[in-house]
Chains A and B, each alone.
Chain A
Amino acid sequence: MPAETGTASPIVYTIRGCDACMKLLRKWDAEQVIYEERRVELSQTVLDEARRLGQLVPIVVWPDGRVEQGFGDTIGCFI
Protein backbone atom coordinates (compact mmCIF):
# COMPACT_ATOMS: atom_id res chain seq x y z
CA MET A 1 0.00 0.00 0.00
CA PRO A 2 1.67 3.25 -1.03
CA ALA A 3 1.79 5.77 1.78
CA GLU A 4 4.30 8.47 1.01
CA THR A 5 5.85 9.87 4.16
CA GLY A 6 7.08 13.09 2.57
CA THR A 7 10.26 12.79 4.62
CA ALA A 8 13.57 10.97 4.27
CA SER A 9 12.99 9.07 7.49
CA PRO A 10 10.71 6.13 8.15
CA ILE A 11 7.58 6.60 10.21
CA VAL A 12 6.86 3.89 12.75
CA TYR A 13 3.51 3.37 14.45
CA THR A 14 4.03 1.80 17.86
CA ILE A 15 2.51 0.80 21.16
CA ARG A 16 5.03 1.18 23.95
CA GLY A 17 3.64 -1.91 25.70
CA CYS A 18 4.19 -4.05 22.59
CA ASP A 19 7.32 -6.20 22.77
CA ALA A 20 7.81 -6.27 19.00
CA CYS A 21 7.57 -2.47 18.84
CA MET A 22 10.13 -2.05 21.59
CA LYS A 23 12.51 -4.55 19.94
CA LEU A 24 12.35 -2.58 16.70
CA LEU A 25 12.95 0.75 18.44
CA ARG A 26 15.88 -0.68 20.40
CA LYS A 27 17.40 -2.01 17.18
CA TRP A 28 16.97 1.28 15.36
CA ASP A 29 18.31 3.26 18.32
CA ALA A 30 21.37 1.01 18.43
CA GLU A 31 21.87 1.54 14.69
CA GLN A 32 21.22 5.28 15.09
CA VAL A 33 18.39 5.16 12.58
CA ILE A 34 16.48 8.43 12.44
CA TYR A 35 12.75 7.81 12.54
CA GLU A 36 9.46 9.42 13.46
CA GLU A 37 7.55 7.47 16.08
CA ARG A 38 3.76 7.77 16.22
CA ARG A 39 2.30 6.15 19.33
CA VAL A 40 -1.10 4.71 18.62
CA GLU A 41 -1.97 4.15 22.29
CA LEU A 42 -1.99 7.89 22.91
CA SER A 43 -4.35 9.13 20.23
CA GLN A 44 -7.43 7.84 18.45
CA THR A 45 -6.42 9.91 15.42
CA VAL A 46 -3.04 8.19 15.23
CA LEU A 47 -4.65 4.80 15.84
CA ASP A 48 -7.12 5.39 12.99
CA GLU A 49 -4.22 6.45 10.77
CA ALA A 50 -2.37 3.24 11.63
CA ARG A 51 -5.47 1.11 10.97
CA ARG A 52 -5.64 2.49 7.45
CA LEU A 53 -2.15 1.08 6.91
CA GLY A 54 -2.33 -2.27 8.64
CA GLN A 55 -3.57 -4.37 11.51
CA LEU A 56 -0.43 -5.16 13.42
CA VAL A 57 2.06 -2.82 15.07
CA PRO A 58 4.82 -1.95 14.64
CA ILE A 59 3.86 -0.56 11.26
CA VAL A 60 6.71 1.01 9.35
CA VAL A 61 6.13 3.38 6.45
CA TRP A 62 9.36 3.77 4.52
CA PRO A 63 10.10 6.99 2.64
CA ASP A 64 9.37 5.24 -0.67
CA GLY A 65 5.88 4.34 0.55
CA ARG A 66 6.47 0.69 1.38
CA VAL A 67 4.55 -0.46 4.45
CA GLU A 68 5.71 -3.28 6.72
CA GLN A 69 3.86 -4.75 9.69
CA GLY A 70 5.25 -6.57 12.70
CA PHE A 71 8.88 -7.09 13.46
CA GLY A 72 11.22 -10.02 13.67
CA ASP A 73 10.03 -13.27 15.14
CA THR A 74 7.43 -11.60 17.35
CA ILE A 75 4.06 -11.25 15.71
CA GLY A 76 3.39 -7.85 17.26
CA CYS A 77 0.11 -6.46 18.57
CA PHE A 78 -3.16 -6.31 16.69
CA ILE A 79 -4.74 -2.88 16.69
Chain B
Amino acid sequence: MVHATTIVTPARFVQGLSYSDFLAQATINHDKFNESYQSVPLTEGDLAFFRKAAALPQGPKKILALAEAWCGDVYRELPTVARIAEATSADLRIFLRDQNPDIMDEFLSNNGKSRAIPVFAFYTADLQQITHFTERSASAHAGLMSAMDEVRAQLKLPETATFGTLVDPERTAFLREVIARIQPHSTQWRKDAIAEIRESLATAVGIPNAS
Protein backbone atom coordinates (compact mmCIF):
# COMPACT_ATOMS: atom_id res chain seq x y z
CA MET B 1 0.00 0.00 0.00
CA VAL B 2 1.31 3.48 -0.84
CA HIS B 3 0.40 5.86 1.96
CA ALA B 4 -0.97 9.26 1.02
CA THR B 5 1.12 10.69 3.80
CA THR B 6 4.30 9.01 4.82
CA ILE B 7 6.82 9.43 7.55
CA VAL B 8 9.52 8.68 4.98
CA THR B 9 10.38 12.31 4.39
CA PRO B 10 13.62 13.39 2.71
CA ALA B 11 15.05 14.26 6.12
CA ARG B 12 14.16 10.83 7.47
CA PHE B 13 15.32 8.97 4.38
CA VAL B 14 18.87 10.23 4.66
CA GLN B 15 19.06 8.92 8.21
CA GLY B 16 19.10 5.38 6.86
CA LEU B 17 22.31 3.41 6.77
CA SER B 18 24.36 2.83 3.65
CA TYR B 19 25.01 -0.82 2.86
CA SER B 20 28.56 -0.58 4.19
CA ASP B 21 27.36 1.12 7.38
CA PHE B 22 24.68 -1.56 7.78
CA LEU B 23 27.33 -4.26 7.55
CA ALA B 24 29.60 -2.35 9.91
CA GLN B 25 26.95 -2.23 12.63
CA ALA B 26 25.93 -5.86 12.16
CA THR B 27 27.40 -8.17 14.79
CA ILE B 28 26.53 -11.39 12.99
CA ASN B 29 26.25 -13.09 9.59
CA HIS B 30 29.04 -11.21 7.81
CA ASP B 31 29.93 -14.49 6.10
CA LYS B 32 26.34 -14.94 4.90
CA PHE B 33 26.07 -11.38 3.55
CA ASN B 34 29.41 -11.73 1.79
CA GLU B 35 28.47 -15.09 0.30
CA SER B 36 25.16 -13.71 -0.99
CA TYR B 37 26.82 -10.59 -2.34
CA GLN B 38 29.37 -12.65 -4.25
CA SER B 39 26.66 -14.91 -5.68
CA VAL B 40 23.96 -12.37 -6.56
CA PRO B 41 22.11 -13.92 -9.51
CA LEU B 42 21.66 -10.68 -11.46
CA THR B 43 22.18 -11.09 -15.20
CA GLU B 44 23.48 -8.44 -17.60
CA GLY B 45 19.90 -8.25 -18.85
CA ASP B 46 18.63 -7.54 -15.36
CA LEU B 47 21.19 -4.80 -14.85
CA ALA B 48 20.35 -3.25 -18.22
CA PHE B 49 16.68 -3.18 -17.25
CA PHE B 50 17.33 -1.55 -13.87
CA ARG B 51 19.62 1.06 -15.47
CA LYS B 52 16.96 1.85 -18.06
CA ALA B 53 14.27 2.22 -15.39
CA ALA B 54 16.50 4.41 -13.23
CA ALA B 55 17.24 6.70 -16.15
CA LEU B 56 13.56 7.65 -16.51
CA PRO B 57 12.56 11.04 -15.03
CA GLN B 58 10.20 9.25 -12.63
CA GLY B 59 12.38 6.16 -12.34
CA PRO B 60 13.78 4.64 -9.15
CA LYS B 61 16.58 6.79 -7.76
CA LYS B 62 16.19 5.97 -4.08
CA ILE B 63 15.69 2.62 -2.39
CA LEU B 64 14.59 2.15 1.20
CA ALA B 65 15.24 -1.20 2.84
CA LEU B 66 13.91 -2.49 6.15
CA ALA B 67 16.21 -5.17 7.46
CA GLU B 68 17.85 -6.92 10.38
CA ALA B 69 21.11 -8.83 10.07
CA TRP B 70 19.77 -11.91 11.85
CA CYS B 71 17.08 -12.57 9.24
CA GLY B 72 17.80 -15.23 6.61
CA ASP B 73 15.64 -13.57 3.98
CA VAL B 74 17.58 -10.36 4.58
CA TYR B 75 21.04 -11.84 4.13
CA ARG B 76 19.85 -13.64 1.01
CA GLU B 77 18.07 -10.68 -0.65
CA LEU B 78 19.60 -7.44 0.60
CA PRO B 79 22.91 -7.97 -1.25
CA THR B 80 20.92 -8.22 -4.50
CA VAL B 81 19.41 -4.80 -3.92
CA ALA B 82 22.79 -3.41 -2.90
CA ARG B 83 24.10 -4.57 -6.27
CA ILE B 84 21.14 -2.99 -8.08
CA ALA B 85 21.77 0.28 -6.25
CA GLU B 86 25.45 0.19 -7.20
CA ALA B 87 24.65 -0.51 -10.85
CA THR B 88 22.07 2.28 -11.09
CA SER B 89 23.69 4.80 -8.74
CA ALA B 90 20.54 4.71 -6.63
CA ASP B 91 20.72 5.92 -3.04
CA LEU B 92 20.12 2.83 -0.88
CA ARG B 93 19.20 3.57 2.73
CA ILE B 94 18.70 0.76 5.20
CA PHE B 95 16.58 1.06 8.34
CA LEU B 96 16.69 -1.47 11.15
CA ARG B 97 13.19 -2.82 11.53
CA ASP B 98 13.18 -3.00 15.31
CA GLN B 99 14.45 0.55 15.70
CA ASN B 100 12.04 2.01 13.15
CA PRO B 101 8.56 0.64 13.91
CA ASP B 102 6.89 3.69 12.37
CA ILE B 103 8.44 2.96 8.97
CA MET B 104 7.70 -0.75 9.35
CA ASP B 105 4.06 0.11 9.97
CA GLU B 106 3.84 1.51 6.43
CA PHE B 107 4.88 -1.82 4.95
CA LEU B 108 3.05 -4.45 6.97
CA SER B 109 2.14 -7.64 5.11
CA ASN B 110 -0.34 -10.45 5.68
CA ASN B 111 -3.26 -8.02 5.98
CA GLY B 112 -1.41 -5.78 8.37
CA LYS B 113 -0.45 -8.59 10.74
CA SER B 114 3.16 -9.29 9.79
CA ARG B 115 6.33 -7.24 10.06
CA ALA B 116 8.03 -9.39 7.43
CA ILE B 117 11.45 -8.33 6.19
CA PRO B 118 13.24 -7.50 4.05
CA VAL B 119 11.18 -4.72 2.53
CA PHE B 120 12.59 -2.90 -0.48
CA ALA B 121 10.72 0.28 -1.41
CA PHE B 122 11.65 2.08 -4.61
CA TYR B 123 11.24 5.86 -4.82
CA THR B 124 11.66 8.62 -7.36
CA ALA B 125 14.28 11.31 -6.82
CA ASP B 126 11.65 13.43 -5.01
CA LEU B 127 10.70 10.47 -2.82
CA GLN B 128 7.44 9.43 -4.43
CA GLN B 129 7.02 5.73 -3.78
CA ILE B 130 7.00 3.66 -6.98
CA THR B 131 6.59 0.12 -5.70
CA HIS B 132 7.85 -2.22 -3.02
CA PHE B 133 8.83 -5.85 -2.53
CA THR B 134 8.48 -7.79 0.71
CA GLU B 135 10.32 -10.77 2.14
CA ARG B 136 10.69 -13.31 -0.67
CA SER B 137 9.33 -14.30 -4.05
CA ALA B 138 5.86 -15.73 -4.59
CA SER B 139 7.52 -18.92 -5.83
CA ALA B 140 9.38 -19.23 -2.53
CA HIS B 141 6.13 -18.86 -0.59
CA ALA B 142 4.45 -21.44 -2.83
CA GLY B 143 7.45 -23.75 -2.62
CA LEU B 144 7.33 -23.67 1.16
CA MET B 145 3.63 -24.56 1.13
CA SER B 146 4.27 -27.35 -1.35
CA ALA B 147 7.16 -28.72 0.70
CA MET B 148 4.94 -28.84 3.77
CA ASP B 149 2.27 -30.75 1.84
CA GLU B 150 4.86 -33.27 0.64
CA VAL B 151 6.26 -33.77 4.13
CA ARG B 152 2.80 -34.25 5.64
CA ALA B 153 2.22 -37.03 3.10
CA GLN B 154 5.65 -38.57 3.66
CA LEU B 155 5.31 -38.60 7.44
CA LYS B 156 1.66 -39.65 7.20
CA LEU B 157 0.54 -36.58 9.10
CA PRO B 158 -3.00 -35.20 8.88
CA GLU B 159 -3.54 -32.61 6.14
CA THR B 160 -4.34 -30.13 8.87
CA ALA B 161 -1.02 -30.64 10.66
CA THR B 162 1.10 -27.53 11.00
CA PHE B 163 4.39 -26.93 12.71
CA GLY B 164 2.50 -25.39 15.59
CA THR B 165 0.17 -28.35 16.14
CA LEU B 166 2.86 -31.03 16.09
CA VAL B 167 4.84 -32.25 19.06
CA ASP B 168 8.26 -33.87 19.09
CA PRO B 169 9.54 -36.07 17.58
CA GLU B 170 7.16 -35.37 14.66
CA ARG B 171 7.68 -31.62 15.00
CA THR B 172 11.45 -31.92 14.59
CA ALA B 173 11.12 -34.43 11.74
CA PHE B 174 8.64 -32.16 9.98
CA LEU B 175 10.98 -29.17 10.23
CA ARG B 176 14.03 -31.17 9.10
CA GLU B 177 12.23 -32.55 6.04
CA VAL B 178 10.72 -29.20 5.04
CA ILE B 179 14.11 -27.49 5.22
CA ALA B 180 15.73 -30.27 3.19
CA ARG B 181 13.15 -29.70 0.46
CA ILE B 182 13.39 -25.91 0.26
CA GLN B 183 17.16 -25.46 0.51
CA PRO B 184 17.95 -26.65 -3.04
CA HIS B 185 15.66 -23.93 -4.45
CA SER B 186 17.41 -21.01 -2.79
CA THR B 187 19.20 -19.68 -5.87
CA GLN B 188 16.14 -20.04 -8.11
CA TRP B 189 14.01 -18.20 -5.57
CA ARG B 190 16.54 -15.37 -5.47
CA LYS B 191 16.29 -15.16 -9.26
CA ASP B 192 12.51 -15.16 -8.96
CA ALA B 193 12.70 -12.25 -6.51
CA ILE B 194 14.66 -10.26 -9.08
CA ALA B 195 12.07 -11.14 -11.74
CA GLU B 196 9.26 -9.98 -9.45
CA ILE B 197 10.99 -6.68 -8.69
CA ARG B 198 11.57 -6.14 -12.42
CA GLU B 199 7.95 -6.87 -13.26
CA SER B 200 6.66 -4.63 -10.52
CA LEU B 201 8.93 -1.75 -11.51
CA ALA B 202 8.17 -2.17 -15.22
CA THR B 203 4.45 -1.95 -14.53
CA ALA B 204 4.81 0.99 -12.17
CA VAL B 205 6.99 3.14 -14.43
CA GLY B 206 5.33 2.02 -17.67
CA ILE B 207 8.16 0.37 -19.57
CA PRO B 208 8.41 -3.12 -21.06
CA ASN B 209 9.97 -5.71 -18.78
CA ALA B 210 12.82 -6.22 -21.24
CA SER B 211 16.52 -5.49 -21.19
Question: Which residues of A does B touch, CB under 8 Å?
Answer: 15-17, 40-44, 47, 55-56, 66, 68-70, 72-75, 77-79
Contact = CB atoms under 8 A, between A and B. Distances in A.
B162 A44 contact: no
A17 B116 CA distance: 11
Contacts of B29: 44, 47
Nearest to B164: A73
Nearest to B70: A41
Given A55-B175, A77-B70, A68 B168 contact: yes
A12 B163 CA distance: 19
Interface of B: 27-30, 68-72, 97-98, 162-165, 168, 171-172, 175, 179
Contacts of B30: 44
B152 to A, nearest CB: 15
Contacts of A70: 163-164, 171, 175
B28 A44 contact: yes
Contact of A40 (B70, B98, B179): B70
A73 B162 contact: yes
Nearest to A71: B164
A17 B175 contact: no
Nearest to B31: A44
6 contacts: A15-B70, A40-B28, A43-B27, A69-B175, A70-B171, A75-B163
Nearest to B168: A68
B27 A44 contact: yes
Contacts of A68: 168, 171-172
Interface centre among B28, B68, B97, B165 (most CB of A within 10 A): B28
